[in-house]
Amino acid sequence: MDLPLAEATRAEFAHSTTYLNTANCGVVPRSAVAAVRELAEAAGAGVPAGFGDFDRVNGARASFARLVGVDPERVSVGSAVSTHVGLVAASLPPGAEVLCPEGEFASVINPFVVRGDLKVRFAPLESVAGAVGAGTALVALSAVQSADGRKADLAAVRAAATAHGARMLVDATQAAGWLPFDASPYEYTVTGGYKWLLGVRGASYLTVSRKAQDTLTPLHAGWVAAESMWDSTYGPMPQLARGARRFDESPAFLAYHASERALALLERIGIENVHAHDTALAARYRAGLAGLGHEPVPGDSAIVSVPGLADRRPALQAAGIATSARAGLLRASFHLYNTEADVDRLLDALSAS
């Protein structure tokens, strides 16, 4: 059953600032902080509980899978989005064309660029679908742009990619957790767990469709990538895991103990409820900006970026209001722990001379 947002925020969040910076890093719920503390204290005490719990890792895997609409066997866990993208980049033959939006986040682009033998082509976000061609092997893009909150027309890109026989890699880092997102239409998705998913750095998720599983080689396979982990700690593994777990990194347990609790909270609240809350706050902010004579980047995202105001970020920070300056824009992002009072405080600060 969905948990009311007011009840959840009272019970789970204790930040003292006006925190409008989830697109940079989320606020960690109290229950997740407690899970990290429990594991760290057990590790410091030298007791078995301090080793880390794979059941917690798999709990986070299953919870994330439910949030993005895929089977848990399609989810691999790791430490960073760029590592997941690197696996996809390594799977492409020399000369393959990768199409990306202009200004896309570096972790989505760099693993392809640094290979040096791929053709990486760029198009404006709004034109990506039309830019897919017969020679395109892969389209790599974010569902929501980090710098300014613009949402990709994923359905149009999917249709174009399918028509030309291209695969898709979608970065859902700035989407999953506030925007209802279905990973199932795409060969690959990658998602950082420390922003809208309320975890900490060290947790990230790769989804791989059944049809695409054999396109990737688990280049960093350790014993956790085996079908039977505990029978594969020494020597070559007898068998890779049958599903996407074959692409797992050895987990950062502190991060996954936190993520298991944080993802469970999001599930209890319901992403549809989070989406309604976050976008209502963003709309209030947009309306207030218009009243102040500022024009944000158009859209209905929970991320709102404003040209010409990036230099206000230090003063806002000094006033206890956390935002970001990205690509020359002042970026504010609204999540489940924010209130109308937070929006109004930011607007009041911006209205001051």
What residue segments make up the domains of the chain, in order of their start? 5-28+270-351, 44-268
| Whole-number Cα distances in Å, 59 to 66, 83, 149, 203, 264 | 11, 22, 30, 13, 9
Res 3 pLDDT > 80: no
Determine the pLDDT at residue 339: 95
Check whether domain 5-28+270-351 has CATH 2.60.120.1310, yes or no:
no
Determine the pLDDT at residue 353: 61
Three-state DSSP class for residue 297: coil
Check whether domain 44-268 has CATH 3.40.1160.10, yes or no:
no
Sequence-distant (≥ 6) Cβ neighbours of residue 105 within 8 angstroms? 142, 145, 146, 147, 171, 173
Q: Residue range 22-46: average pLDDT?
A: 98
Res 230 pLDDT > 90: yes
Question: Which regions of 193-290 does DSSP assign to beta strands (E)?
Answer: 204-208
Q: How many CB atoms lie within 10 A of CB 287?
A: 11
Three-state DSSP class for residue 11: helix
Res 300 pLDDT > 60: yes
Q: Is the pTM of this model over 0.85?
A: yes
- CA pair distance 73, 208, nearest whole angstrom: 9
Q: Residue range 162-175: average pLDDT?
A: 98
Which residue, 190, 144, 189, is CA-closest to 301? 144
Determine the pLDDT at residue 2: 60
Q: Residue range 272-283: average pLDDT?
A: 97
Determine the pLDDT at residue 1: 43
Residue 240's DSSP bridge partners are: 226
Q: Looking at residue 186, what DSSP letter applies?
A: S
Res 322 pLDDT > 70: yes
**Residue 206 CB-density burial (10 A; 0-12 exposed, 13-18 middle, 19+ buried):** buried
Determine the pLDDT at residue 14: 87
Q: Residue range 231-250: average pLDDT?
A: 96
Instruction: Give me the chain's average pLDDT, please.
Output: 96
Percentage of residues in the chain having pLDDT higher than 70 = 99
Identical fold, 5-28+270-351 and 44-268? no
- Residue 132, H or E segment: none
Q: Residue range 142-155: average pLDDT?
A: 98
Sequence-distant (≥ 6) Cβ neighbours of residue 48 within 8 angstroms? 42
Q: How many CB atoms lie within 10 A of CB 259?
A: 33
